[in-house]
Amino acid sequence: MTAQARDRGAANAHRGRTARTRGARVTAETPALSASAQRVQDALAAARLATRIVECDVPARTSAEAAAVLVCAVGQIAKSLVFRAASGAPVLVIASGAHRVDEAKVAALAGEPIGKADAAFVRAVTGYAISGIPPLAHAQPLTPIIDRNLLQYETVYAAGGTPRAMFPIAPADLVRVAGGTVADIAAPISRVLRCRMTDTPSSPRRRGPSDFPSTTLGPRLRGDDRGFADNAGPLGKGR
- pLDDT at site 181: 95
Per residue in 197-237, pLDDT tens? 444 444 444 455 455 544 333 333 333 333 454 453 333 33
**pLDDT bucket at 131, cuts 50 / 70 / 90:** confident
Output 35 or 12, whichever has higher pLDDT: 35
Contact 199, 225 (CB under 8 A): yes
Output 108 or 3, whichever has higher pLDDT: 108
**pLDDT bucket at 164, cuts 50 / 70 / 90:** very high
Per residue in 216-226, pLDDT tens? 333 333 333 33
- pLDDT at site 146: 98
Q: Does residue 63 have a pLDDT over 50?
A: yes
Output 61 or 175, whichever has higher pLDDT: 175
The pTM assigned to this predicted structure is 0.71
The pLDDT mean for the chain works out to 77
